[in-house]
Amino acid sequence: MSLLEIENLSLDIGGTPILKDVDLSIAAGEVMGLVGESGSGKSMTALAVMRLLPQAARASGRILFDGADLLAATEDRMNALRGDDIGMVFQEPMTALNPLKTIGEQVAEGIRWHTGANRTDAEAQARRMLDRVGLPAERFPLTRYPHELSGGQRQRVVIAIACALKPKLLIADEPTTALDVVLQAQILELLRDLVDENRMGLLLISHDLAVVTEMADRITILRGGEVMEAGDTAQTLSAQEHPYTRQLAQASMHVPERPKRSPPSPLRGGPIGEADRGGGRGDVLDSPRTEHSGPLLSVQNITRDYPGHRTSLFHKPPPTRAVDDVSFSLGEGQSVALVGRSGCGKSTLARMILALDEPTSGSIAFRGETITGRDQASLRSARRDMQVVFQDPYGSFDPRRTVEWLVAEPLHLLDRKPGKTERRELVSQALHEVGLKPADMHKYPHEFSGGQRQRISIARAIITRPKLVVADEPVSALDVSIRAQVLDLFADLNQKLGVAYLFITHDLTVARAITDDVMVMHEGRIVEAGRTAEILSHPQSDAAKALVDAAPDLHRAIAKRMQEQG
Amino acid sequence: MSDHAVGLPEKGFIAKAFSNRSFVAGFVITALVAAMALLSFVWTPYDVTKLVVADRMQPPSAEHLFGTDQFGRDVLSMIMVGARNSLAVALVAVCIGVGIGVPLGCWAAARGGIVDGALMRFNDIVFAFPALLSAIMITAILGPGAINAIVAIGIFNIPVFARIARAGALAIWPREFILAARAAGKGPALITIEHILPNIANLLLVQVSIQFALGILAEAGLSYLGLGAQPPMPSWGRMLFDAQTRMAVAPYLAIVPGMAIVITVLGLNLIGDGIADTLDPKLRRQR
């Protein structure tokens, strides 16, 4: 008999149907992948199992856990189950922990509550659990606070809390979405080991088909609250019988069409001359000069220090070096990816290039003009040719302004301010170029979906016809099919407008999709640079290898599954 | 969710506020008080400066709705004219607080570093003085009167608004749309006007309603001590003071201005509550 059996689960919230006749089952020791785009009802399914639905929600159907119907269970019974027999791991490790309690207290809390163990025993058990999830006692004593840990470490604490009492079922709702690929691989491996050790059932919820394929024995594909297809992972994904499954799979592997550039890349790597960090650079050394004035962007020996945390009144702390002696250059119309793990200094570098932050030392030249150490007024003409697209499609717009106002904001940089009608024309043209309707300009940002907002963000970036667009993780917050569309748009604009891109990402598939060249950044330095395809297939440095190995890849995952099953 | 627009256009803030019960109640009360104050400019039942000794200490009746005081003046008329004074003092004092405090707070948030430190320490110093006592001191030095009461109350509104504006602005500054505005070449002053202020306006609005209510109380307190509006100009605080020796004979003389203060403050606090609820969607859903 299955551990968890969901039968005909339907759910509506305040009259809006969310789930329709969802069936799903998980056996002990089995990993079930639940895949779908945002709004498909994945998280609601998980919350229904936990009975943590919003108050206005009405659920019908049956959720059998160990033979008992959870929908009919009393609240006391649910409290006994939650955290004991059913554990849950949330998406956002930054907010899933109480910032005022030590990690030891938070892990021990559940143990004490459910088993009635005394403090000493519970803490001993918490210690063992933290050791198990990879937070050894020497470096991570129980007295650490969440803010002292990185995102990946916090997610390990969350997993320790969820698994402390060896639950029969673990629900992981997008457990790795907020992490970079290397951390993602580590966390997934940890989850898989825990499943094997304790014969747990795991309900893995993700929008990333590749992740689910690597992990899950069986998968369920959800769309608009309905199960589209369910079955054995390898079979379902290799056959791709259902059109929606095919659509999802294709979107995950999507590569925008773009003309191949024949000349060798004008990209020049940073301080990689030393033998120990070498590799992948020989063919990209010397750039053919573009017609006029050399490279579009040239970064020379840039370093950025942040003051360290003061620990004593009299001792000045050593500074933290976020970007360390980075040099590279970028030609007109060239598309380059800057790839690295979170916290490696990519975003700091981007901000310095955009003249939003001053380097501690080194210089940046844009179109041959130095832009470091200049006052704001004299940067206007450089800013006009250099725009930015941010990661978060929700945070990058002032919620109180209309789309017209927001898209027109960079027009502030023009020497001659356009009149009202002219401004409106420019905005509607920019919106048209990114595939939105000119009528959309009177709406507010919250009226758009994530993908549309990212289009608005791009419209804002191209309205001044810049030569360079710096995009900081522009698609990592988007669903796969929308991600594919936005990547297509980037590729398309690259051709039409001849704009150069600096793409900052931790996701190698994005780098592969739209860039000619890639630079790999690690701990503030560029450790490898060269043609994208080359580096992705033959990484030389450890940092690049780690990124390539950890990147989820649907082809590879399916192939591996098929092989395992013979 | 597919790639097309989600949700309906959000209702305007004002429209939402008017569907909030406490906001509507507060708005109605405050509007009535304000209407009464405005009406007093053109019409009062009796002249408040005319003393009719024969009618002194009349209990409430059809002729004098709230009775008359020890000089035979009509209490209702005095309340109406007093409302003018109370509202004006509190309003101007709040304007002083907003007009000076908000720019200071925004400046501190935009500049950071030494400017921020210095401004906020200065703020702390002002906060360290007990507000009403200092207001008494100021009016004692400058001499009593409505204008000086305004100044005294206004000064203590400045740090309150500076602090709120700074806290609100600091939460907005690290957001990505500010970075986008900076990438569009906008300087701190323009960003503050175009992005920061509209985003902290609601926060400030709540505080305005609270400080307005506190201003009315402070004005009443100063008048009670004889440091506010001077006779023959009636004021709620002075009416309370005059009533206190006659509590046993004519309790209505104390009750009426007391209720006027309570009701006005209540109205303003309800408005503040309403705005706060409207702002916080989580709170709103719980209602």
When pLDDT is cut at 50, 70 and 90, the band that residue A478 belongs to is confident
Q: Which chain B residue is nearest to residue A381, measuring alpha carbons?
A: B185
CB A402 within 8 A of CB A439: no
Q: pLDDT tens for residues A220-253?
A: 999 988 999 999 998 888 888 899 988 888 888 8
| Domain-located, residue B111 | yes
CB A520 within 8 A of CB A535: yes
When pLDDT is cut at 50, 70 and 90, the band that residue B33 belongs to is very high
CB B146 within 8 A of CB B137: no
CATH of residue A502's domain is 3.40.50.300
Q: Are residues A94 and A75 in the same domain?
A: yes
What's the average model confidence in pLDDT over B198-206?
A: 87
Q: Are residues A319 and A364 in the same domain?
A: yes
Q: What is the pLDDT of residue A259?
A: 61
Domain boundary among A252, A273, A300: A252
Q: Please indicate whether, in this complex, the C-beta atoms of A444 and B5 are within 8 angstroms of each other.
A: no
Q: Does B284 touch chain A (CB under 8 A)?
A: no
Q: Does B110 touch chain A (CB under 8 A)?
A: no
Closest approach of A355 to chain B, Cα-based (Å)? 8
Q: Does B203 touch chain A (CB under 8 A)?
A: no
User: Where is pLDDT greater, at A267 or A224?
Assistant: A224
* Residues of A with Cβ-Cβ distance to B9 under 8 angstroms: 443-444, 447
Q: Does B50 touch chain A (CB under 8 A)?
A: no
Calculate the CA A317 to chain-centre distance.
32
A284: containing domain: 265-379+468-552
How far apart (Å, rounded) are the C-alpha atoms in residues A306 and B32?
57
* A501 phi, psi to nearest 5 deg: -120, 140
What's the average model confidence in pLDDT over A419-442?
A: 90
Location of structure tokens 């033959």: A538
Domain boundary among A438, A465, A492: A465
Q: pLDDT tens for residues A69-102?
A: 998 888 888 988 888 899 998 877 778 888 899 9
Q: What is the pLDDT of residue B285?
A: 44
Q: Are residues A204 and A83 in the same domain?
A: yes
Q: Please indicate whether, in this complex, the C-beta atoms of B185 and A448 are within 8 angstroms of each other.
A: no
Q: Are residues A97 and A234 in the same domain?
A: yes
Percent share of chain B, pLDDT over 70: 93
When pLDDT is cut at 50, 70 and 90, the band that residue A293 belongs to is low
Closest approach of A133 to chain B, Cα-based (Å)? 33
| Domain-located, residue B92 | yes
Q: Please indicate whether, in this complex, the C-beta atoms of A447 and B7 are within 8 angstroms of each other.
A: yes
Calculate the CA B14 to chain-centre distance.
19
How far apart (Å, rounded) are the C-alpha atoms in residues A205 and A91?
10
Percent share of chain A, pLDDT over 70: 92
- Reported as half-sphere exposure (CB side, CA atoms, 13 A), residue A122 has a value of 18
| Domain-located, residue A174 | yes
Q: A499 in helix, strand or coil?
A: coil
Q: Are residues A417 and A300 in the same domain?
A: no
Facing A447 at nearest CB: one of B1, B5, B185: B5
State chain B's maximal CA–CA distance in angstroms. 81
Please give the tally of structural domains in chain A. 3
What's the average model confidence in pLDDT over A208-222?
A: 90
Q: Are residues A132 and A211 in the same domain?
A: yes
| Domain-located, residue A56 | yes
| Domain-located, residue A411 | yes
Mutate to test the interface with A, among B4, B13, B175, B176 (most CBs of A within 10 A): B176
When pLDDT is cut at 50, 70 and 90, the band that residue B11 belongs to is low
Q: What is the pLDDT of residue A278?
A: 37
Mutate to test the interface with B, among A380, A398, A431, A458 (most CBs of B within 10 A): A398
Q: Please indicate whether, in this complex, the C-beta atoms of B187 and A376 are within 8 angstroms of each other.
A: yes
* A470 phi, psi to nearest 5 deg: -95, 120
| Domain-located, residue B5 | no
Residue B110's H or E segment, with its range, is helix B75-111
CB B67 within 8 A of CB B75: yes
Q: pLDDT tens for residues A505-564?
A: 888 878 888 888 999 999 889 999 989 888 888 899 998 898 888 888 888 888 888 887
B256: containing domain: 14-50+73-286
| Domain-located, residue A259 | no
CATH of residue B81's domain is 1.10.3720.10
Q: pLDDT tens for residues A368-408?
A: 888 888 888 888 888 989 999 988 777 888 888 889 999 99
Burial of A377 (0-12, 13-18, 19+ CB in 10 A): exposed
Q: Are residues A460 and A473 in the same domain?
A: no
How far apart (Å, rounded) are the C-alpha atoms in residues A291 and A451?
36
Location of structure tokens 């809006």: A16
Percent share of chain B, pLDDT over 90: 28
Q: Does B11 touch chain A (CB under 8 A)?
A: no
Q: Does B14 touch chain A (CB under 8 A)?
A: no
* Residues of A with Cβ-Cβ distance to B1 under 8 angstroms: 37-40, 449, 479
| Domain-located, residue A547 | yes
How does DSSP assign A505-524, residue by residue?
ES-HHHHHHH-SEEEEEETT
Facing B199 at nearest CB: one of A395, A400, A452: A400
Q: What is the pLDDT of residue B174?
A: 87
Domain boundary among A465, A490, A525: A465
| Count of pairs with CB atoms under 8 A, one residue in A, one in B | 87
* Residues of B with Cβ-Cβ distance to A404 under 8 angstroms: none
* Residues of B with Cβ-Cβ distance to A409 under 8 angstroms: 180-181, 184, 186
Q: Does B1 touch chain A (CB under 8 A)?
A: yes
pTM value? 0.78
How does DSSP assign A247-258, residue by residue?
HHHHHHT-----
* A527 phi, psi to nearest 5 deg: -100, -15
How far apart (Å, rounded) are the C-alpha atoms in residues A367 and A298?
8
Q: Are residues A491 and A439 in the same domain?
A: no
Q: pLDDT tens for residues B160-180?
A: 999 999 999 999 998 889 988
| Domain-located, residue B61 | no
Please give the tally of structural domains in chain B. 1
Percent share of chain A, pLDDT over 90: 29
| Residues facing A43 on adjacent strands | none
Q: Are residues A161 and A127 in the same domain?
A: yes
Q: Does B174 touch chain A (CB under 8 A)?
A: no
| Domain-located, residue B9 | no
Q: Please indicate whether, in this complex, the C-beta atoms of B183 and A383 are within 8 angstroms of each other.
A: yes
Closest approach of A199 to chain B, Cα-based (Å)? 34
| Domain-located, residue B89 | yes
Tokens of B286: 């719980």
| Domain-located, residue A158 | yes
Say how many C-beta atoms besides its own lie within 10 A of residue A303's C-beta. Answer: 16
Q: What is the pLDDT of residue A1?
A: 64
Q: Are residues A297 and A204 in the same domain?
A: no
What's the average model confidence in pLDDT over B253-266?
A: 91
**pLDDT of A300 strictly over 80:** yes
* Residues of B with Cβ-Cβ distance to A427 under 8 angstroms: none
Q: Which chain B residue is nearest to residue A472, measuring alpha carbons?
A: B176
| Domain-located, residue A564 | no
How far apart (Å, rounded) are the C-alpha atoms in residues A441 and A511?
31
* Residues of A with Cβ-Cβ distance to B4 under 8 angstroms: 449, 452
How does DSSP assign A359-427, residue by residue?
-SEEEEEETTEE-TT--GGGGHHHHHTEEEE-S-TTTTS-TTS-HHHHHHGGGGGSSS---HHHHHHHH
Mutate to test the interface with B, among A381, A409, A446 (most CBs of B within 10 A): A409
Q: Are residues A85 and A232 in the same domain?
A: yes
Mutate to test the interface with A, among B8, B179, B203 (most CBs of A within 10 A): B179
Closest approach of A255 to chain B, Cα-based (Å)? 19
Q: What is the pLDDT of residue A25?
A: 92
Q: Please indicate whether, in this complex, the C-beta atoms of A398 and B1 are within 8 angstroms of each other.
A: no
Contacts of A321 (CB under 8 A, 6+ apart): A303, A304, A305, A306, A524
CB A377 within 8 A of CB A418: no
Handedness of CA A245, A250, A252, A253 (dihedral sign): positive
Q: What is the pLDDT of residue B12?
A: 65
* Residues of B with Cβ-Cβ distance to A356 under 8 angstroms: 179, 182-183
CB B184 within 8 A of CB A384: no
* Residues of B with Cβ-Cβ distance to A391 under 8 angstroms: 176
How far apart (Å, rounded) are the C-alpha atoms in residues A332 and A336?
11
Q: Please indicate whether, in this complex, the C-beta atoms of B180 and A409 are within 8 angstroms of each other.
A: yes
Q: Which amino acid is at A99?
A: P
| Domain-located, residue A128 | yes
Percent helix, percent strand, percent coil in chain B, to nearest 5: 75, 0, 25
What's the average model confidence in pLDDT over B218-229?
A: 85
* Residues of A with Cβ-Cβ distance to B181 under 8 angstroms: 398, 409
**pLDDT of A269 strictly over 70:** no
Q: pLDDT tens for residues B50-84?
A: 877 777 778 888 788 888 888 888 889 999 998 98
Q: Please indicate whether, in this complex, the C-beta atoms of A388 and B179 are within 8 angstroms of each other.
A: yes
Q: Are residues A441 and A481 in the same domain?
A: no
Strands of A297-306's sheet in order across: A320-330, A297-306, A361-366, A369-370
When pLDDT is cut at 50, 70 and 90, the band that residue B280 belongs to is low
**pLDDT of A280 strictly over 70:** no
Q: Please indicate whether, in this complex, the C-beta atoms of A448 and B181 are within 8 angstroms of each other.
A: no
Location of structure tokens 């009975």: A51
Mean per-residue pLDDT over chain A, rounded: 85
